[in-house]
Amino acid sequence: MSRKLVVANWKMNLTLEDSKDLIQKVANSVSFHAYVVIAAPAAYLHPLKDFIVGKKNIHLAAQNVHHEEFGAFTGELSAPMLASLGIEYCIIGHSERRIHFKEKNEILAQKVSQLFKHGICPIYCVGETLEQREKGKTYDVVKKQIKEGLFHLKDEEIEQIIIAYEPVWAIGTGKNATPEQAEEVHAFIRKYITQKYGEEVADEIPLLYGGSITAQNAKSLFEKPSIDGGLVGGASLNAEDFIQIIKANFPDK
């Protein structure tokens, strides 16, 4: 199977009507062969699941899940709940959750396990802060996030995961990593997973880049051999920009 995909992370934006309008435009404009995942606000997942029926290039993700299966956790959403809606993907460990909600690798590892238990594919985010990069710690940070968040998984689980490398300094800042910087870390991640799980498993895993992807810079990023696609925040809220980004990874035939 191809490793290519493009994921939109809408975060806490858009109304339900805006969401449907955007999805409709994307579904109409990109190739039938494109693979697009929309991480929508939790409240929209159910109506959007109905709305995407027949739109074969569009899939849905949640932006977060609780690490327990059920119980007294007011306001939270569990993996079995997402599964009961037929949601296929879920973002885990986005830097905004690591920073604002203090989510640690140990909890993220539990979330990842919950998702696999209920047949949902995690999109696991890693990435260093500017300070960590400037101190030369990028690889150490990424290694720790992967080891503690994912290395408890079995071969048949990890080969189904999606990993997004999102340097914190590039998210929402307009300052993307250069294709060379991103490629370097992506190649490192694949090598690190190869060391633990072997090449056959590591080769299955899509590695996405995220952080200030735009219609202008997407192509140069996606052309790199270790960059399989993107996790797109701001630019995924505008239909024209997002369509251009998808087309950069899935050119019209």
Which residues are part of the catalytic machinery? 94, 166
CB of 191 to ligand PGA, least distance (A): 24
- Residue 234 as a binder of ligand PGA (CB under 6 A): the answer is yes
Select the residue interacting with ligand PGA from 146, 182, 205, 231 (CB under 6 A): 231
Task: Rank residues 67 and 98 by Cβ distance to ligand PGA and give the closer one.
Answer: 98
Report the site for ligand PGA in 58-87 (rule: CB under 6 A): none
- Residue 210 as a binder of ligand PGA (CB under 6 A): the answer is yes
Report the site for ligand PGA in 115-174 (rule: CB under 6 A): 166, 171-172
CB of 224 to ligand PGA, least distance (A): 17
Select the residue interacting with ligand PGA from 215, 232, 246, 248 (CB under 6 A): 232
Of the listed pieces 100-108, 114-122, 186-194, 208-216, which binds ligand PGA according to CB under 6 A?
208-216
Q: Would you say 19 and 52 are in contact if contact means Cβ atoms under 8 Å apart?
A: no
CB of 18 to ligand PGA, least distance (A): 17
Select the residue interacting with ligand PGA from 93, 127, 229, 233 (CB under 6 A): 233
Task: Rank residues 6 and 232 by Cβ distance to ligand PGA and give the closer one.
Answer: 232
Inter-CA distances, 72 with 50, 66, 112, Å: 29, 11, 20
Residues 6+ apart with CB under 8 A from 200: none
- Residue 213 as a binder of ligand PGA (CB under 6 A): the answer is yes
Select the residue whose beta carbon is closest to ligand PGA and give its number: 233
- Residue 212 as a binder of ligand PGA (CB under 6 A): the answer is yes
Which chain residues interact with ligand PGA by CB under 6 A? 9, 166, 171-172, 210-213, 231-235
